[in-house]
């Protein structure tokens, strides 16, 4: 990806400016959740919609187009979806993003895709429409389910650790630290760091040869007991800032600031607004996503 073209969209400064709008989206989703009669699926009502609503606006799509983004999460997070459903979805999404970028080239607005198209032209980056679509698609693929799954699983961890949840409710300034600990503890994208060695390299007592594939599990690094004492314990007071849940190096997650801010706002607001939140089914009945690139929950039935 032409990473440098979109880096300015994800700086801490730009993401901080989105805080009020993120708070508004989260509040509206929690209002909708509370309008249910005492039970709801938190994945459907909160975890999936927050990143898609926000991203729809960041890309400069019309609010009426939210269905494309909603459908994306619905298909990718649904355990019944087939390979065919996903292929159809990707084709639909590419068509939609292509039309949107063409519109932004003709009639730019104050949004990510307009700025991307303008930069491409002004800096002579030479990207054609298909290249721009693939950048936009990567942002959707990388940004939606990751954040949604962290909201779902993170909520579950907080419900299972009522003492920590109580501390966070009493002192919301701890939330930032707790989010890093959740990212470390859950390591939901632990096999995302896929590489091919370009030269022979020694790692410990192993030689990896040029051309060999490597999956550097960030989950293993985040649960390394020589770095994090008792790594299997969820501890909101530990300093987990140096976790590798967003990977490391040249391809480190571009959306880390955006993910962190969304998670902080969601958990802080959820704990404050629904102090009686609890699981509506025994944890053994929850359906977890296994075998994909990202770890998550299909549904999270809650009551209050
Ligand atoms: C909690 C949520 C998230 C987690 C755990 C996460 C994790 C990761 C990981 C592990 C990588 C792989 C990096 C590598 O190959 O070394 C990655 C890449 C990436 N992420 Fe995220 N991510 C999250 C949210 C987001 C968001 C909100 C966006 C923004 C749209 C985003 C955009 C990207 C992009 C564009 C890449 C590819 C970067 C590149 O190849 O240069 N991610 N992410």
Burial of 202 (0-12, 13-18, 19+ CB in 10 A): exposed
Domain ranges in the chain are 3-188+254-303
Residues whose CB falls within 8 Å of the CB of residue 114, separated by 6 or more in sequence, listed in order: 60, 104, 108
Question: Does ligand 1 lie within 6 Å of residue 241's CB atom?
Answer: no
Per DSSP, the residues of 39-76 read EEEHIIIIITHHHHHHHHHHHT--GGGHHHHHHHHHHH
Q: Give per-residue pLDDT as tens, 29-61.
A: 999 999 988 999 999 999 999 998 999 999 999
Q: Give per-residue pLDDT as tens, 103-146.
A: 999 999 999 999 999 999 888 878 999 999 999 999 988 888 89
Question: Does ligand 1 lie within 6 Å of residue 146's CB atom?
Answer: yes
**Domain 3-188+254-303 falls in which CATH fold?**
Cytochrome p450 (1.10.630)
What is the CA(150)–ligand 1 centre distance, in A?
A: 13
Q: What is the DSSP letter of 209?
A: P
Residue 77 contacts residue 292 (beta carbons within 8 Å):
no
Q: Give per-residue pLDDT as tens, 236-272.
A: 999 999 999 999 988 999 999 999 999 999 999 999 9
Half-sphere exposure (CA, 13 Å, Cβ side) for 140? 28
Question: Does ligand 1 lie within 6 Å of residue 246's CB atom?
Answer: yes
How confident is the model at residue 1, as a pLDDT? 59
Atom of ligand 1 nearest to the CA of 144: 27
């Amino acid at each position: 990806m032409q990473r440098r073209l979109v880096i300015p969209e994800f700086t801490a400064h730009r993401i901080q400016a989105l805080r009020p709008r993120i708070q508004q989206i989260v509040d509206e989703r929690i209002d909708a959740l509370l309008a249910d009669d005492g039970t709801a699926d938190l994945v459907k009502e909160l975890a999936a919609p927050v990143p898609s609503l926000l991203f729809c606006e960041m890309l400069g799509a019309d609010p009426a187009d939210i269905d494309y983004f909603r459908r994306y999460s619905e298909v990718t997070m649904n355990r019944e979806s087939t390979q065919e459903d996903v292929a159809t979805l990707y084709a639909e999404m590419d068509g939609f993003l292509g039309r949107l970028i063409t519109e932004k080239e003709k009639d730019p607005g104050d949004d990510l895709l307009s700025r991307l198209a303008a930069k491409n032209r002004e800096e002579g980056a030479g990207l054609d429409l298909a290249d721009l679509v693939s950048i936009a698609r990567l942002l959707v693929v990388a940004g939606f389910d990751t954040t949604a799954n962290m909201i779902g699983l993170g909520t579950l961890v907080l419900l299972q650790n009522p003492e920590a949840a109580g501390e966070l409710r009493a002192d919301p300034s701890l939330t930032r630290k707790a989010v890093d600990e959740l990212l470390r503890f859950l390591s939901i994208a632990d096999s995302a760091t896929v590489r091919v060695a370009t030269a022979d390299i020694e790692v410990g007592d192993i030689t990896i040869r040029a051309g060999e594939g490597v999956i550097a599990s960030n989950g293993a690094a985040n649960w390394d007991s020589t770095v994090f004492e008792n790594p299997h314990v969820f501890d909101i007071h530990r300093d987990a800032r140096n976790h590798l849940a967003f990977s490391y190096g040249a391809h480190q997650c571009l959306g880390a600031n955006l993910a962190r801010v969304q998670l902080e706002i969601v958990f802080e607001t959820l704990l404050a607004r629904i102090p009686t939140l609890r699981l509506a089914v025994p944890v053994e009945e929850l359906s977890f996503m296994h075998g994909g690139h990202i770890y998550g929950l299909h549904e999270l039935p809650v009551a209050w």
